[in-house]
Structure 1
């Protein structure tokens, strides 16, 4: 099977070379694409130096646009499975096989690498865990599917969902909304236990002073997405 790892990267000069090396040495046969989202540091120079396979966006699209660019690439070149891994070093490629196994077995269309099943490794701050639990409950209320680690950017999709995301993907902090999109289109979403690490360097895209704004925006997006898809299917 053709498998592509999508790595969105914005100002990840501290991390990106290590992330690529870990993927290349994960013991599993995958291709990868770094989507450089118009970084203002020397991320692009590092990608050039290590002869990485990368796409350089001419303008900053944000995390959703960067990931969707990867899905467009995967869809265009006929990949059977697309895997998203953040460029900050939190996600361990050694779990790729476990992540995609339910898709290979035909038991899931999307899998989410979850730090909250076995509760090992980096668990994030108490404030963020509270926010994640709230969004998890909201998604359960909106579409009937319980996913614990709804903001995890470590996930995999089969060809059907890759094609869907190439056309329809949320632009700002899209992970929770992508779960709603998948479930509302009849896809099966499963969680796989993984161990995550603290980011190797740089800054998170979700700053603490923006956390309330983030929660409000994502909550509204989840509710709207659920009803927009429901209306569109009638």
Structure 2
């Protein structure tokens, strides 16, 4: 049983040594623990520092591509390296390496395909009241979209079985946390949560410049990912809102028309007709998108089969060597 701990990095030369020293190299139930560094176009010497510290695997992007794509690169590299379990953690030493055995336990026991570390943000003194409130709202929204009861939806400290890693397809360039949960829910993967220790961050987040930007990017990711799997439902509600809004001025026109004063309120009729037409057109778009989503599912099944074949071939070559 091989565990690979992957760490996406962007200019983490200074903090990398502390993070690596905190990762346990011997874990009950695991035969081999290896570390994978994903250097996401760092301008410092992150990759060189990782090599000096004896990291087992290093992959690098020539340019910064964002956390989600670095995470995707890590999953692919971990699978190619033969990982049975993959743990993703941050390079800023925010998460305690001593929690890794607890994080992977549900996977080793066959109880989960994916495990998310719950930072227990309500108890964190270094989390502001605003952050705690937004975290609860965001987790509730992800719970509604994914069907998974997850107390800390945006925690980056999580573990994946090999099977789960093969099935996930990360498309976002912002963050993988929300997208993986929604995909896991729609693919009927079993997701668990365990409490973990969280240390105060030593630097500002490099994922987003401000809270409004984080909210905007997270909302876009939620809607886009959910719409991929339930486009008809998304467009139905959008169209319904437009039709209901259009019904108001149409009813207003009818009231005046029945009282013999319709000629002076033709604008209401035009506005209402336009909104109702837009709503009906939105429903049509939803129907087409729903049909396209079936094609996307077929493509995902094909991609999964190709990925399995490539991994089996890679494993066979390794056995021969």
TM-score (norm 1): 0.88
Matches within 5 A, 1:75-224: 75-116=79-120, 120-121=123-124, 124-165=127-168, 167-201=169-203, 203-208=205-210, 210-224=213-227
Correspondence for 1:2: 2
Correspondence for 2:240: none
- Structure 1 gap segments, 5+ residues each: none
- CA–CA distance in 1 between the matches of 2:107 and 2:52? 35
Larger radius of gyration: 2
Q: CA deviation at 1:26?
A: 5.7
RCO higher in 1 or 2 (8 Å CA, sep ≥ 6)? 1
- CA–CA distance in 1 between the matches of 2:96 and 2:25? 9
Q: Which has more helix, going by share of residues?
A: 2
1:74-123 Cα distance to aligned partner (Å, 9 max, x none): 22222110000011110111001100111111111000000128x55566
Give the match's secondary structure for 1:30.
strand
TM-score (norm 2): 0.65
Instruction: Kindly report the root-mean-square deviation, in angstroms, between the aligned alpha carbons of the 2 structures.
Output: 2.4
Q: CA deviation at 1:14?
A: 2.6
Q: CA deviation at 1:145?
A: 1.5
Matched, 1:50 2:53: yes
Instruction: Report if the CA contact (8 A) 1:122-1:196 is conserved.
Output: no
- CA–CA distance in 1 between the matches of 2:103 and 2:158? 7
Instruction: Report if the CA contact (8 A) 2:170-2:176 is conserved.
Output: no
Structure 1 residues 73, 211: CA separation in 2 closer, same or farther (over 3 Å shift)?
A: closer
